[in-house]
Structure 1
Amino acid sequence: MPNPERQLEQEENKSGRQLNQSLEKLRTGLNSQQKNQGLSSKFHEQMESIEGALVECEKAMETLSKDYVQELEKFKNESDPLNALRALDASETIWKKETEVIRKNEKVVHEEAFLRRMREQAVMVYDNKLLELTSRRRKSPSTEEIALCLGILGNIDQGLGELGHPVTSKERVRLSEIAKAFR
């Protein structure tokens, strides 16, 4: 005949085990729910990452707005071909570095329109400088003037490419033909 005390003890143990299992499932469920929702550590990491990306992009945009534009101004106003070429190179170095930062974080900052406007302005500056150089062109341009013209043509071509003009577009084909004429 079963012992009632023993049976009661077994039921209590079984009930205790079930309670512990239920509590463990609840704890595990809360942990996984916390990881997927709310203020989990993963959420905090994502927010810090987004905040870092925003700060990084803000600095890059500020550098473009100040340093890049300043170098473009130097380029635009420089009459010496060698110094103009240096300013052109400096502006492009800044452009490449800072746009890389912004494009790397494009999913967070959505600043492609800002970059597009900046690049459109730069292409216009390059185009105007090229027109200025060719309008005062002598019969035999110096090596520096040729280098500057080729640098400008290359940057216009690169800018048009960044603005979505395919290599086969009439503008880029024309630039290629002009560059070949310098050789």
Structure 2
Amino acid sequence: MPPLSLSANTVQEALDRADARHWTRNPPRSRRARLAFLLSKNGHDHTALAARLHTTPQALESFGNLPGSQGGDHENSALQQAVEREVIRLWQPRIRRRAHATILHNNGQMMISFRAWLGFTAAAGSSDDPRLRTLTLSLHAPHVEALFSAWHRDAPEQELVTLLSDALSACYFHRNRPQGTTETVRIERIDYLEFYY
């Protein structure tokens, strides 16, 4: 398996990958071991896991060379990426909660680096032409807490994007503006995103 990338193009996956810095043990690396881990989290139900990964039980068997499979060496990069994302999402939840609590206890600072298409809303109206921006900045405690809280309750991606958009508005676009500034920013599409904490 290739080395773990720490950036992603969704907020949920970027948070999951940032948590990897706090793991005390590495997750399984082989396809068979990863599928065994995911099956243990899905009641050993191949059909439920296949649905979660947007594939079929037969494709899972082939991918992991599970008993009764044919063609276990068949390469499926999309499925491989889906399996990796799911393993990262589920690995060491207690360690991650402890890391999040420690970060919040210590002023809740979080750095982000991203490239995304941003839309803007101001008193005069909205921009219909999202602009590609590349930024690295620090998010402050209330926004970090909101992102962690949403992650812990498995909030949908759109909610996470909205929370991150609010954080960008407050921590970057409003930092040198007068109080009561009405401009807001919304993330239209993420090219890459990485959290550091």
TM-score scaled to structure 2, two decimals?
Answer: 0.23
- Larger Rg computed on CA atoms: 1
Structure showing greater relative contact order (alpha-carbon pairs closer than 8 Å, 6 or more residues apart): 2
Looking at secondary structure, tell me which structure has more helix per residue.
1
Looking at secondary structure, tell me which structure has more strand per residue.
2
